[in-house]
Amino acid sequence: MSSSRPSLLSGSRIINSIFRRRTIHVCGLLATYDIEDIPTAQDDYWMAIDFVAIRQLIGARDDMSVWICGSSIRRNRGSFLLGDPACDHIVFDPPPFERLLSVGPTTLAVKFLIEVTKKSEKLSAGETLVIVLVGHGENLDHSLLVGGKGQLKNCEIRKDELEDCVSNAKGDVLVIITACYSGGWTSSCWTLLAAAGPGGEAHSMIASDSAESRGGFFANALLAEHAMEFSIRPPCPGVMDNRGFSHPQKEHDFGTEKAVRPVILKPQRCLQEVVNWIHKFRDEMERQYTTSVTFTPCREGPHRLPFASLISASAPFHQLKCVPPSPNSNHTSIRSASAPQQHSDSSPLQVIPEHDTTQKLSDEEESELLDLSATLLRFPPPTIPSEKYFSGRCWMLTYGPARRLKPLSSSDRYTLFFDLKNQIRKRDLALAVARNLGWEEGIQKMGGGPGGKQTQLSPARALQDEAEASGCLVSILCVPTRYSPWGNAAGWLARVWEAQGRPVVPPQQWDGAVERGLDALDG
């Protein structure tokens, strides 16, 4: 009987077998049409960056993938920059891979669902279909919005429609969705990687000064976590001080000039460990990214997400070019997020009456508007859609519009002025109501009233719902926007309610507190 030793070739086969993954099919959709040619703090170009980054992360063959969009994602520079402005940006420069369909939102949604159905029906046991949904989410039913501001008729893709498309799939289905409220897409038909919980808003990265670099926090975190599984440190900003300035970025292993090689080990994280790592990564960035990602089901045991191996020969993403951080990435950077469609305000109380947007502000009001805008930018609001309207226009008013964009019109300035005044009044009412209810202890625990640094807090919508169920009807403090209702004052009062011990508020007591508060404000 002869003996033999394993050859180098057999060893190579063992390594390859470790990282050989199932056949991967991909259907991706960029659902927003709001991609502008010139970078601004207002458009959805950061979603196009997510679209590109997630494609690179998956690394599937082009002949087995379809990436659909209804608006061109290409700009003159051709590159897509992902990352926080306080650290190196990862440069994606892919050849044309997307299928641009010059059709309306409804047709785009139908064509995408047809593609999903086709791939699902051809899926064999042992194969994986990855469905990528990038766009805005809807708060009420968690559907994905397809369309944009310039479209005559927008539409939605609902979870049950996608379930119908994959109901007969013989292989595995993975859904990656970057939208707000995407945690509501849990289903027995697939494994879900969602950028937010059912009631949570998904965040973009803070914009660079040029507005060229951004992307979503979720896409950035997915890529960073996958790199760490191969012992490749991702770009990450250093700690911020209380003035909003960032210290030097942390050391990382990304870039064409880096000689760091991935560790050849089979990834051993379970899905819950991935979630925990992403949340830790979020907290260490200290950028007020408050999104809590959702993976369902969070199975125990080592996971095998269908992402590209960093030891493969097909250009692993950690070897992509990196560019230095923005030189002036300070606390005035504009922030944005995946945004749900506008829906009606749930507040029964409108504190400021409707105003005529054809009017113009007086010189005194123009001066006050500049002060209000500067105050808002001094304490930048969190990266959530309900703040997008206000922070973007305050930025334009204070620093001027980006190239080729028109300045705010008289009617826009008039509307912004009354919106900001309305915010102040809502905060004043929140403080008055809390005091009328005798919640001084809760106010002190919160560090005082709802102004100043309190404006940087998230609206805590889940906590608002809990407060409402106990009779603390914080929704009267919300302000309607073209996205979801602005809820900073409501979130502050909900936190005071929680700090006070979550008391039950009888209707008569609540109505009296609100009425006295309004009388004091109007007195």
DSSP of 430-493: HHHHHHHTT-HHHHHHTTSSSSGGGGGS---HHHHHHHHHTT--GGGG-B--SSSPB-HHHHHH
The pLDDT score that the predictor gives to residue 367 is: 82
The pLDDT score that the predictor gives to residue 77 is: 55
The pLDDT score that the predictor gives to residue 66 is: 97
Q: Give the HSE-up count for residue 83: Cα atoms under 13 Å, Cβ half-sphere.
A: 26
- Does 307 share its domain with 380? no
End-to-end CA distance of the chain: 103
Q: Which of 266, 296, 323 is the last residue of a domain?
A: 323
- Does 301 share its domain with 440? no
- Does 370 share its domain with 313? no
The pLDDT score that the predictor gives to residue 208 is: 60
Cβ contact 471:459 at 8 Å: no
The dihedral built from the CA positions of residue 63, 64, 70 and 74, taken in this order, carries a sign that is: negative
- Tokens 């260490």 correspond to 284
- At 112, the amino acid letter reads F
Backbone phi and psi for residue 291, each to the nearest 5 degrees, phi listed first: -60, 135
492, two tokens: 């502050």
The pLDDT score that the predictor gives to residue 447 is: 84
Q: Burial level of 386, CB count in 10 A (0-12/13-18/19+)?
A: buried
Q: Give the HSE-up count for residue 304: Cα atoms under 13 Å, Cβ half-sphere.
A: 14
- Does 210 share its domain with 258? yes
**Residue 424's domain spans which residues?**
363-522
351 within a domain of the structure (yes/no): no
- Tokens 């001066």 correspond to 367
358 within a domain of the structure (yes/no): no
- Does 165 share its domain with 252? yes
The pLDDT score that the predictor gives to residue 407 is: 75
- Does 317 share its domain with 375? no
Backbone phi and psi for residue 289, each to the nearest 5 degrees, phi listed first: -80, 110
Instruction: Tell me how far apart the alpha carbons of residues 69 and 271 are, in angstroms, rounded to a whole number.
Output: 30
469 within a domain of the structure (yes/no): yes
355 within a domain of the structure (yes/no): no
Q: Which of 323, 349, 380 is the last residue of a domain?
A: 323
Q: Burial level of 94, CB count in 10 A (0-12/13-18/19+)?
A: middle
- Does 260 share its domain with 167? yes
- Peptide bond connecting 297 to the previous residue in cis, omega within 30 degrees of 0: yes
Residue 237's CB is within 10 A of a number of other CB atoms, namely: 24
Q: Which of 386, 449, 458, 394 is nearest to 420 (CA)?
A: 394
261, two tokens: 């090689």
494 within a domain of the structure (yes/no): yes
Instruction: Tell me how far apart the alpha carbons of residues 181 and 164 are, in angstroms, rounded to a whole number.
Output: 21
Q: 31 to each of 28, 47, 79, 330, 341, how far by Cα in Å?
A: 9, 9, 20, 31, 12
- Does 83 share its domain with 34? yes
Number of domains the chain contains: 2
Residue 164's CB is within 10 A of a number of other CB atoms, namely: 15
- Does 248 share its domain with 385? no
357 within a domain of the structure (yes/no): no
338 within a domain of the structure (yes/no): no
Helix 410-436 × helix 363-378 angle, to 10°: 60
The pLDDT score that the predictor gives to residue 154 is: 85
- At 336, the amino acid letter reads S
Instruction: Report the DSSP beta bridge partners of residue 147.
Output: 32
- For residue 178, give the CATH number of its domain: 3.40.50.1460
Backbone phi and psi for residue 515, each to the nearest 5 degrees, phi listed first: -65, -45
Q: Per-10-residue mean pLDDT for the chain, 523 residues long? A: 37 41 90 78 82 94 94 78 85 92 93 95 94 91 85 85 94 95 94 91 72 79 91 79 56 84 71 89 72 84 83 76 64 27 29 48 82 75 64 73 66 81 87 93 86 74 86 85 74 92 92 89 74
Chain Cα centroid distance, residue 261: 31
- Does 315 share its domain with 371? no
- Does 180 share its domain with 268? yes
Q: Which of 306, 323, 340 is the last residue of a domain?
A: 323
356 within a domain of the structure (yes/no): no
- Does 308 share its domain with 456? no
